[in-house]
Structure formats: C-alpha cells, structure tokens
Amino acid sequence: MKKTAIIYGTRPEFLKVFPIILEAQKRKLNFIAINTGQHSNLLTDLENLFEFKPNYNLNVQNTKYSNSELLAQIITRISNVLKKENFTHIIAQGDTLSVLGASITGFLEKLPFYHIEAGLRTTNINEPFPEEFNRRSTTIATKLHFAPTLRSKNNLLKEGINENDIYVTGNTIIDMLSHVIERENIEIKKNNLVIITAHRRENIGQNLENIGIAIKDLATENKNITFKWILHPNPNVRNQIKCILKDHPNNIEFLEPLNYIDNLKLMANANLIITDSGGIQEEAPSLNKKVLILRDETERPEVIECNCGILVGSNIDKIKNTFNNEINKQSDFLAINPFGNGDAAKKILSIIEND
C-alpha cells in the first residue's frame, strides 16, 4: 500500500503544497506531511493560519549552517523519518534545498519522487542561486514531472526527459489563491498603491542599492501614491534597505512580513507591484496586476508573454521609466492566467494514484 511523504520546508512551498494536502485528505490517501523547518517562525505561523499541523517538523534551520551543511541535515533527518514511517513515495514542490534533499533521499532509497512545479529554467545556473542548480539536479531524480506550463514541459524535453513522464497541470499556487479569494471574499481593486518586495541573494549589494534609489526617486516624484515595501526577514536585506532609505519620503511605508491572506488582500488593492519574487509573478495575473520584475531573467517567461510582467532588473533608469509608462494604464490587460485555473492539485493526485 502506498504511503506518501509530502515534504516542504519554506513558506512558498507550503502555499503550493497545501492544495495537494487538502486534496489528499478529501481522497483519504495515506500520507505524512514533513516540514523540514528550513523556514521556521514564518512557516509555523502560516501553518497555524490554515489550521494545519504536519506530522513532523525537522527543525533544520540554523543561521550558522552553510548551504552544504543545511542540505546534509535535510537528507539525514528525512532519512530518519523514513526509518520510522517506511513511506513508499515522496512528493515535493519547487527548487529549495528541502526539495533537493528530498529528491536525493528518494533516489538513494529507491523511492519514486514526484516533482511539482517541474521544468522551470533560466539560462544561468547561478541565477537564481542556488535554486537553478537545485531544480536542475532534482529533475535527474524525479519519476514524474508535473510542469505548470507547456514551456516548462518543453524545457524538460530539451533535457532528454521522456515525454510520457511529464504532465502539464498548471501551478498549485493558483489553487491556493482561488481558495483564499473565495474563502475571504477578497475584492480586486486598483488604488494609488504600489507594493515592493526584494529578497533574492543576487540582488543583495549594489543591485539592492539601485532598487532603493529608484523607489526613493519615484516616491519623491509621485506624492499621491503610497509605496508599501514589505521587508524580508533576512537581516542582510532589511538592514540594507533601511540604510538606503533612512531619509525616505513620507509616502514610503515599511511593512513586516504579512501572512498569506493579508498579503493577497494588499496585492488585490494595488495599482502596480515591484518585486523579484517568483510566486508573485504567478499570482499577479489572477489579480489583474502588472509586475515590474527586479531581475535580469525570469524562469517564468509566461508572465511577460501574457503582458503581465516586465523585466527591469536593478537598472535605476529602467525601473523609473517603466514605472512611469505603466502606472496610469487603467485597462485590464489579462483574462486568463497562464499558470492555470485552480485545478492542478486534482490533476496531480489523479495521476499519482494511477501510477
């Protein structure tokens, strides 16, 4: 009898795995939920928000660990759970060290590994770091690949993955977003509000300084617009932002990290979103929001092709010029989210059940 481990370790992973968990509960499947604890407090708060408690929390987070040490801890502690639970299959989502560790454990123990959100790629293995390496490596150990879009499937085909092992399902974040919008009765509006988030490792340093300068200039030039910058828990990120914007205009507000529901409510009221987040790129089309992407390349080019996102990188002039071109456009620019319509979890578990 199948006993499936559903493994996650970060806040974004939980958001994309939770629809799988809900669907597994509906189908009364035999599974255990394992939180590696790669993110601790934020993730626990999110689990509490949705009244969910995993079977295991491996508590791997330690600020003193290098990436290599963290990966080793993840593999060791998942293996320890395997000895107790004897699970027969593994499901994980995304591109973190938790996912890589889960896939390595599955490979070494000869357990089928199912990868949700498979096939995302950039052209540079160091960008984003280490996520691009993680997802490419995870692919090697995967039995079935659940690609969110046709482009993701084509990326896998180019790497020699058997087409029979790839399924285009949409992205489970759209399942989660649809669930919350309906549950919370969230109304989508467009106010004089701009939301900013920035946390990618590759942006820390000069790139983040340029981004901060651009936002400060835009706030000074647009006094009628409120700029809300949601700070990331990483002290290196938040300290640099606060240093750059220590003398910021009054219409820039700093917010502590929001829970998922409050974050969606905030985005639903925004005019424009400026971010380097991958998840926001996927969510924005369903909220009819345009995104200025603070990266030179995105593994989600569908958001650009559907006219919902624009790459601006960390170039001050490009950020400001693109902002000024987009801020007053009022027309709805998108009817269909390229990342799915909210039924990905059902598709994925139907395929796994029949495997």
Same domain, 120 and 191: no
Same domain, 125 and 43: yes
Distance of CA 56 to the CA centre of its chain: 22
Please work out, in degrees rounded to the nearest 5, the angle formed at the alpha carbon of residue 193 by the alpha carbons of 279 and 273: 25
Average pLDDT along the chain: 93
Q: Tell me, yes or no, whether 114 lies in a domain.
A: yes
Q: Tell me, yes or no, whether 247 lies in a domain.
A: yes
Residue 76 confidence (pLDDT) = 97
Same domain, 157 and 12: yes
Query: Which tokens in the block code for residue 95?
Result: 């591109």
CA 149/CA 155 separation, integer angstroms: 10
Same domain, 195 and 82: no
Residue 66's contacts (CB-CB under 8 Å, 6 or more residues apart) are none
Same domain, 64 and 167: yes
Same domain, 21 and 162: yes
CATH number at residue 43: 3.40.50.2000
DSSP characters for 315-346?
-HHHHHHHHHHHTT--S---SS-TT-SS-HHH
Of 220, 217, 208, 231, the residue nearest 313 (C-alpha):
208
Contact call for residues 19 and 27 (beta carbons, < 8 A): no
Contact call for residues 211 and 185 (beta carbons, < 8 A): no
Q: Tell me, yes or no, whether 322 lies in a domain.
A: yes
Same domain, 156 and 260: no
Same domain, 81 and 195: no
Residue 335 confidence (pLDDT) = 54
Mapped onto helix, strand or coil, the DSSP state of residue 145 is strand
Contact call for residues 113 and 107 (beta carbons, < 8 A): yes
Query: 311 is in which domain, residue-wise?
Result: 183-326
Please work out, in degrees rounded to the nearest 5, the angle formed at the alpha carbon of residue 202 by the alpha carbons of 197 and 204: 65
Global pTM? 0.89
pLDDT digits (tens, 9 = 90+) for 284-300: 999 999 999 999 999 89
Number of domains into which the chain is organized: 2
Q: Tell me, yes or no, whether 348 lies in a domain.
A: yes
pLDDT digits (tens, 9 = 90+) for 160-174: 999 999 999 999 999
pLDDT digits (tens, 9 = 90+) for 21-73: 999 999 999 999 999 999 877 789 999 999 999 999 999 988 789 999 999 99
Same domain, 224 and 300: yes
Contact call for residues 181 and 151 (beta carbons, < 8 A): no
Q: Tell me, yes or no, whether 176 lies in a domain.
A: no
Q: Tell me, yes or no, whether 27 lies in a domain.
A: yes
Query: Residue 310 class from Cβ within 10 Å (0-12 exposed, 13-18 middle, 19+ buried)?
Result: middle
Question: Residue 236 — pLDDT band, cuts 50, 70, 90?
Answer: confident
Q: Tell me, yes or no, whether 102 lies in a domain.
A: yes
Residue 136 confidence (pLDDT) = 97
Same domain, 89 and 158: yes
Same domain, 132 and 23: yes
Same domain, 56 and 87: yes
